[in-house]
Amino acid sequence: MILILSPGTRTDSAEYRQLSNHLATLQGVQVRVHSEHGIEQTLTELYLIGNTKSLDPTDMQALPCVERVVRVSQEYRVLGRHKDDSRPAYFDYNGVRFGQDTLHVFAGLCAVDNAEHVEIMLRALRDNGQVCTRMGAYKPRTSPYAFQGHGKACLPYVFELAGKYGIKVIAMEITHESHLDEINAALHQTGHPTGVMLQIGTRNTQNFELLKIVGRQTEMPILLKRGFGITLDESLNAAEYLASEGNRNVVFGLRGMKTNMGDPHRNLVDFAHVPVVKRLTRMPVCVDPSHSVGSRAASPDGILDVMHVTAQGVLAGANMVLVDFHPAPTRALVDGPQALLLKELPHFLEDVQIAREAYLRRVALAKKYPE
Ligand code: PEP
Ligand code: MN
């Protein structure tokens, strides 16, 4: 059960003390406090865990400071959508809103190779009106002999260049808790010219200790990729690990499933699950067409498979597109064969726009013909 307190409730007030004294008398019920500090006010939610079946929502609603009561199912307590749950399905970060009704493209380098390529990429994004990108500094690789990413060495120039070109949010994978400190140090050193959305890759979806540590920091939002060989429920529970530790600014990323039934694509594209994740949870949903398809193959209609599946995801209501581009894919150190060319960026963005407009028209149509 969640008790949503009146906005601005102070935890040092007499009413709050009365409320917590009462909750302390409930047998077998533990209370977990979650506070969200906004610019104007603080929102506090109390999670009652344990023996809450016998609690009457009407009684709880009458307690001091309580504005609303939400009874949660066992699943995805923090991030899930529950009955009569009108908690928001969005968050703001560094001036950008991420929600179940917004859309942002994160085009960029799978792996940072040098400052020149980063700059060419970011300039192209700025010229095309983009404020988000992807930049890999820490790369999880199948072979220990493959390029592992430049790590912390590239962070200062990536952040400075992002600031120079007006990029507000960089999606960047981390594979170890020490990367958090390295990113924070580089942001601090460069004067916070941009923001970072921490990415947990598909190989780490169930790295629970990493999830707990990343979930404990609340400065940066998190993009959690679906695990490529586990169920959707298992991946959604992984997202819940982040939220249960305190960070609920989580975007859920679909990136295809590992099975040869998707051949000749690198992974079986799973973007039909966009509406499913939006129904089960309040997380914005990202699609990654590059790691799903894994090549620049095109169909006879002249459209690249990467663009086809992007459109499919956006048409299904995706809120974020993570996509590999590279100024010189043959020289890319990671995933060159699936990268789009910079000259394809305007085409890609226009194609996304067509799919987005079609999605919005479909939403309006569904409203015209309600169930
Ligand atoms: C990536 O986005 O660069 C990446 C490695 O993705 P995934 O974890 O989905 O394989
Ligand atoms: Mn990649």
Residues contacting 302, CB < 8 A, separation 6+: none
- Looking at 65-74, 277-286, 292-301, which range is the least confident one? 65-74
Query: Other C-beta atoms within 10 Å of 228: how many?
Result: 20
Q: How many Å lie between the centroid of ligand 2 and the Cα of residue 110? A: 5
**Cβ(254) to ligand 1 under 6 A?**
no
**Cβ(137) to ligand 1 under 6 A?**
no
- pLDDT value at 73 more than 80: no
Q: Which residue pairs, CB below 8 angstroms and at least 24 apart, start in 61-67?
A: 63/3, 63/19, 63/22, 64/15, 64/16, 64/18, 64/19, 65/5, 65/6, 65/9, 65/13, 65/15, 65/16, 65/19, 66/3, 66/4, 66/5, 66/6, 66/19, 67/4, 67/5, 67/6, 67/7
- Residue 200, classified by CB atoms within 10 Å of its CB into exposed (0-12), middle (13-18) or buried (19+), is buried
> Over the stretch 177-233, which tens digit does the pLDDT of each residue have?
999 999 999 999 999 999 999 999 999 999 999 999 999 999 999 999 999 999 999
> Over the stretch 297-355, which tens digit does the pLDDT of each residue have?
999 999 999 999 999 999 999 999 999 999 999 999 999 999 999 999 999 999 999 99
Q: How many Å lie between the centroid of ligand 2 and the Cα of residue 203? A: 12
Q: How many Å lie between the centroid of ligand 2 and the Cα of residue 132? A: 17
Sign of the four-CA dihedral 171, 173, 179, 180: positive
Residue pair 136/147 in contact (Cβ under 8 Å)? The answer is no
**Cβ(356) to ligand 1 under 6 A?**
no
Mutation choice for ligand 1 from 150, 172, 257, 288, CB with most ligand atoms inside 8 A: 288
Q: How many Å lie between the centroid of ligand 2 and the Cα of residue 335? A: 5
- Looking at 4-18, 75-89, 194-208, 273-287, which range is the least confident one? 75-89
How does residue 71 score in pLDDT terms, banded at 50, 70 and 90? Answer: confident
Ligand 1, atom 10, lies closest to the CA of 202
Q: How many Å lie between the centroid of ligand 2 and the Cα of residue 2? A: 39
| CA of 266, nearest ligand number | 1
Q: How many Å lie between the centroid of ligand 2 and the Cα of residue 233? A: 24
What is the structure's pLDDT at 168? 98
Mutation choice for ligand 1 from 291, 309, 325, 338, CB with most ligand atoms inside 8 A: 291
Mutation choice for ligand 1 from 205, 210, 224, 255, CB with most ligand atoms inside 8 A: 255
**Cβ(104) to ligand 1 under 6 A?**
no
How does residue 53 score in pLDDT terms, banded at 50, 70 and 90? Answer: confident
**Cβ(202) to ligand 1 under 6 A?**
yes
